[in-house]
Amino acid sequence: MNEETDLPASMGKVARRGLALHGFTRLDQFDDASEAALLAIHGVGPKAIRILREHLESRGSTLGP
């Protein structure tokens, strides 16, 4: 990936690539993103959502409604 990102590497390359293709390259961009919308992105599954949720919560943030 050429863009700077702070998405957790533990999510996996395919999930991070899919998110980047939809404009998500930084953790602070997920405030308005719903779990259902993210799961619809190719390569983003329950494991990636769990990891993302954990990282967001550790920063005092959550996924959008």
Q: Are 7 and 13 in contact (CB under 8 A)?
A: no
**Does the pTM of the predicted model rise above 0.85?**
yes
Give the model confidence (pLDDT) of 8-23 as tens digits: 999 999 999 999 999 9
Backbone angles phi, psi at 47, to 5 degrees: -65, -45
Domain of 17?
Answer: 9-58
Q: What percent of the chain has pLDDT over 90?
A: 85
| Within a domain: 2 | no
The count of domains in the chain is 1
Q: Does the residue 65 lie in any domain?
A: no
Please report whether residue 53 resides in a domain. yes
In a domain, 48, yes or no: yes
Res 41 pLDDT > 80 = yes
DSSP state of 26: S
